[in-house]
Structure 1
Amino acid sequence: MSATTPRALSVNRVPVAWRRPLLVLAVLAVLTLLLYRQTALGMVNIWWRSGTFTHAFLVPPLALWLAWRRRAVVAPLTPRPMPWLVLPIALLGAGWLFADFAAVNAATQFALVAMLVLLVPAVLGRAVARELIFPLGFLLFCVPIGEFLLPQLMDWTAKFTVIALRLSGIPVYQEGLQFIIPSGQWSVVEACSGVRYLIASLMVGTLFAYLSYHSLRRRMAFIAFALALPLVANWARAYLIVMMGHLSGNTLAVGVDHLIYGWVFFGIVMLAMFLVGGRWAQPELPLEPRVQTAPIAAASLWPAAVVLAVVLVLPAAASGWLRQGSGTVVSGLTPVAAAPGWEVRPLPATPWLPGFEGANASVHERFAQGAAPEVGLHLQYFRDQGYDRKLVSSSNTVVAPENKQWAAVARGEATVALSDAAGPAALQVLTTQIRSAGLEGSNAPRLLAWHVYWINGQPMVSDWRARLLGAWQRMTGQGDDAALVLVYTELDEGAPQRLQQFVQQYWGAISAELTQVRARRTPDPQGGRP
């Protein structure tokens, strides 16, 4: 067994049975990163620019270190490829292709990392992968996912803070994520959500559980603890920051020190988590080298390697082929004419604008019917969408998170009955109540906004349905034309009825205008966008 002992590896002598499999694995991994380099670079870019995922830079070296720690039990094993894993890798490639057309970063990045992970058992075999299952699974922390939790986490933080303030005897007036106390106005923003603490704690807690326990029950219990603790700690942090500001006359915890206190508090919480976890740590089990198995014939490795390479190449090649000739310009999006009984009014000098960006063309109008408050109409048209410019994204919202003038205080859904025989019988819309963030109390200006997505002629309100339908139609050569249809008016008792009447009278004209724009697909002289 001298050729496969850990000592042999420690002096840089690779066992004969490992040389070709390791070479094949390295070549396939490099090939994968080259083929999907835009996805890989996009993932690294998110690590770099988003503090929420900066910890992901540590994941690859940590995974390699964790794998190296298992060398004593891995070295005696002989790699045995698993050709049938070509099937799940092919499915991941197809998933990557579909997600690429939908421009969903998290999905493409997960597919890429999962393909890299599956290459290990595909080339080295089940026995090796079983010994490296945690280091391989740990690589999934490379995927920057979790920001979809922001709205829910922000809502929980706001609710807990308000309840805690009231229990402390402080009167609170709350609207959504905004609340007012006698000493000033506060709002829960993305930095207050605790998503950074949650994701970082999950990664660190998972690593700590693996290194400190060998009982699956203890590991899972500590991971659950690492998930729950940052949630509760962040709620307490938000409450304490508001209390510090309130008791100090808003001289503390209202500027940069707001974030400093938060990270110091998080560091203390992490230290406490490790101290608690260390109390029940189990001694590390001795590594037991596995029994040497017979070497595998070289002939059975290369066919599997060739098939794997082909499967890896196909999705990337298909993406480029399906995008050929997709570049077209948007022309002819014109204002909608006033319906009988309505008149077009000029826009104010500084009109309210929704937080949607990246449209190829847009129209903004205001209509009035008699002395009733005006109704505004926003149309934003998207074509040849990509990762940096798409209708449905976390950054495209009715009120942008960074908007200092307006704040969304309530969201919901509504149904509008339509009378157009050529269209749907009813239209589902998303509703948003908006309040001016510059004024306090009930005198602040308020708006009611309704919006719906128009995806290649089909209205819908589901983000995921819109993404899936757009990706499918683009892959099948029907284009990915999409639009935002948004109407808004001053919020009063008659606002819902006013918007309902407007949508009933104007939906036919709006849909017809968008359909005509879709029909006028002219080639882009610049060659389109990827």
Structure 2
Amino acid sequence: MNALGNRIQVQAPPRQARWGATLAVSVAALALFGFLFREEILAAVRTWESSTAYNHCWLVLPMAVWLAWTRRDRLARLGPMPSPILALLILPPAVAWLLAERMGIMEGRQLAAIGLFWAMALALLGWRLCRAMAAPLLYLIFLVPFGEFLVPLLQSVTAHFVELGLRVLGIPHYVDSLIIETPAGTFLVAEACAGLRFLVAALAFGALYAFTLFRSPGRRFAVLLAALVVPVVANGIRALGIVVLAQHLGSAEAAAADHVVYGWGFFSVVIILLILVGLPFREDMPPEPGTRPAPLREPVGAARLALAAVLVGLFAGAAPALAAGLNDAAGVAPLAATPRLEPTAGCTAMADGALDCGALTASARLLVFPARTTWAGVAAARRRLLGNEDEALAFRIEAGPATWDARQPPAGNETVAAAAWLDGHLAGDGLRSRATQALNSLGGQGGLPVVVAIALRPKAGDAAAPTPAERRALLTAIAGSQAELVGRADALSRRAGS
């Protein structure tokens, strides 16, 4: 009996020894993750800092650590069980990350990176341990500032809610998309009124509430569903309240003053009500006898841990390495040219291809991008040519053979129009253009992205410059008469790249 006990003691090293090597490898893997996905991490932090909708993300990591600490007793009888087979789970999020990188969708890259992190944890720590720590691991999803794509939908839902409420209350109104007119004034359901900041904060709180006070999947799902639906409805009630208040005050401006601040107060009341409604159904009691962790298993050999670590490093680094190689092959800058503009009424051709339009001059810029460029680079170049959208009057020119996006900044007299082509078609910044160019960049074949910009500038020292409206009209006329330039951009975009 003693001999058997001695043999068992030799085969089962102390618990610290079981964790020591795995923790060292896990720390190295975490450092590798931070290095490979540093752009995603920095982009997320910048968003937390700059956007009021995501300020709560600063609390996500401390909350995840707290959730892990409250579950530390689950680790008392568990040990790490590295699994090289589970390292294969890294491949799907790695592929998703590469596709998001090629499409230029940072939010997709960040979500895929979180999925890749989960797969790394599974491979290095094992299924049983990750299952015991599922709540803090899953809560890390709220580190990603996701949801911006929902803003147009949330604006539309809020506008429809207000319209329905006004109809029920019998208040005269007229609704045109996101613009609501009542006898008290005109209201716009702007992006800040869409309720995104309420929704993402409520989801993060709802998940914490569900993981803390509930144990059954059904009740946790009910809490998350309530955290999703209630903020949307509450934001509609808030917006309706502002319009109704304006009707009684007789002033839209007075009712809308500080409505975002008041909205946070209303949101706080809604969260408190959600907490009170959920408390009678709480399940934060000790686990039942049959749910205790299984006893420690025999330790996994160093060779298995080393193989899992190698596979984690290879699979996690494959997609970023491939993306870096594709970006190097794309080149550092697009080919640029200054094409000749066709004269239009009131403008004459100049020797350098520009147009003399009296007090103004018009010139064009043509950019041809390598086939392996991502659409994010194309969209960024077009935005630079157009200028800062937040500070400019944006309008669209639909004249002639192309559709142009145009900007006119408030300071200065420059007015710019730009358009893009891909594979012989006009291209925007939507998913279709991004997906098409992502496939082109992966294969190195297909069309070349092309951007054309037309800038209308005043001559130096000319005090008789046309009004902003006259400049917009002139730019529309010039852009509508550039059939030759549009045809050249179309032809260039059809050429196969290498």
Q: TM-score range by the shorter chain?
A: 0.7 to 0.9
Contact 2:103 2:376 in 1 (8 A): no
Q: TM-score with structure 2 length normalisation?
A: 0.74
Contact 1:157 1:193 in 2 (8 A): yes
CA distance in 1, matches of 2:163, 2:26: 54
Contact 1:332 1:517 in 2 (8 A): no
Instruction: Tell whether 2:99 aligns with 1:94.
Output: no
Cα gap change, 1:513 to 1:402, in 2 (>3 Å): closer
CA distance in 2, matches of 1:61, 1:311: 29
CA distance in 2, matches of 1:219, 1:19: 35
What's 1:137 paired with? 138
CA distance in 2, matches of 1:334, 1:136: 55
In structure 1, give the amino acid aligned to 2:449. Answer: D
What's 1:512 paired with? 488
Cα gap change, 1:382 to 1:46, in 2 (>3 Å): farther
Contact 1:335 1:365 in 2 (8 A): no
CA distance in 2, matches of 1:186, 1:254: 9
Cα gap change, 1:195 to 1:387, in 2 (>3 Å): farther
Contact 1:452 1:484 in 2 (8 A): yes
Deviation, 1:381, is: 5.4
Q: What percent of counterpart residues are identical?
A: 28
Structure 2: runs of 5+ lacking an equivalent: 1-13, 349-353, 358-363, 407-417, 455-475
Cα gap change, 1:332 to 1:132, in 2 (>3 Å): same
What's 2:116 paired with? 115
What's 1:472 paired with? 439
CA distance in 1, matches of 2:259, 2:185: 15
Deviation, 1:507, is: 6.7
User: Secondary structure of 2:181's match?
Assistant: strand
Where does 1:112-511 land on structure 2 (aligned, <5 Å)?
A: 112-248=113-249, 249-250=251-252, 252-255=254-257, 257-286=258-287, 288-324=292-328, 326-332=331-337, 334=339, 337=342, 343-344=344-345, 383=369, 390-391=378-379, 454-459=421-426, 463-477=430-444, 481-483=449-451, 510-511=486-487
What is the root-mean-square deviation in Å for CA atoms of aligned residues?
A: 4.1
Deviations 1:63-83 (A, max 9, x none): 122122222122311211121
User: Secondary structure of 1:328's match?
Assistant: coil
What's 1:438 paired with? none
Contact 2:425 2:490 in 1 (8 A): no
Greater shift after overlay, 245-254 or 23-32?
245-254
CA distance in 1, matches of 2:315, 2:404: 45
CA distance in 1, matches of 2:355, 2:229: 45
CA distance in 2, matches of 1:73, 1:520: 58
Contact 1:197 1:230 in 2 (8 A): yes
Contact 1:103 1:387 in 2 (8 A): yes
Deviation, 1:93, is: 2.4
Deviation, 1:262, is: 0.7
What's 2:473 paired with? none
Deviations 1:349-385 (A, max 9, x none): xxxxxxxxxxxxxx9999xxxxxxxxxxx99857477
Deviation, 1:102, is: 2.3
User: Secondary structure of 1:186's match?
Assistant: strand
Deviation, 1:245, is: 2.9
CA distance in 1, matches of 2:376, 2:158: 30
Cα gap change, 1:187 to 1:14, in 2 (>3 Å): farther
CA distance in 1, matches of 2:38, 2:269: 38
Greater shift after overlay, 314-323 or 214-223?
314-323
Cα gap change, 1:137 to 1:507, in 2 (>3 Å): farther
Cα gap change, 1:485 to 1:60, in 2 (>3 Å): same
Higher helix fraction (1 or 2): 2
CA distance in 1, matches of 2:30, 2:238: 43
Contact 1:391 1:484 in 2 (8 A): no
Deviation, 1:311, is: 2.1
Contact 1:17 1:295 in 2 (8 A): yes
What's 1:15 paired with? 16
CA distance in 2, matches of 1:286, 1:474: 52
Deviation, 1:90, is: 2.8
CA distance in 1, matches of 2:34, 2:375: 19
Cα gap change, 1:44 to 1:389, in 2 (>3 Å): same
Deviations 1:212-259 (A, max 9, x none): 22222111112111111101100000011122233223463333x211
CA distance in 2, matches of 1:216, 1:328: 52
Cα gap change, 1:59 to 1:475, in 2 (>3 Å): same
User: Secondary structure of 1:38's match?
Assistant: helix
Contact 1:344 1:365 in 2 (8 A): no
Contact 2:375 2:438 in 1 (8 A): no
CA distance in 2, matches of 1:207, 1:481: 45
Cα gap change, 1:81 to 1:186, in 2 (>3 Å): same
Greater shift after overlay, 40-49 or 315-324?
315-324
Q: TM-score with structure 1 length normalisation?
A: 0.70
Contact 1:35 1:313 in 2 (8 A): yes
Deviations 1:177-220 (A, max 9, x none): 11222222110101100111111111111221222222221111
CA distance in 2, matches of 1:364, 1:85: 64
Deviation, 1:106, is: 0.7
Cα gap change, 1:386 to 1:464, in 2 (>3 Å): closer
User: Secondary structure of 1:324's match?
Assistant: helix
CA distance in 2, matches of 1:430, 1:514: 13
Cα gap change, 1:344 to 1:91, in 2 (>3 Å): farther
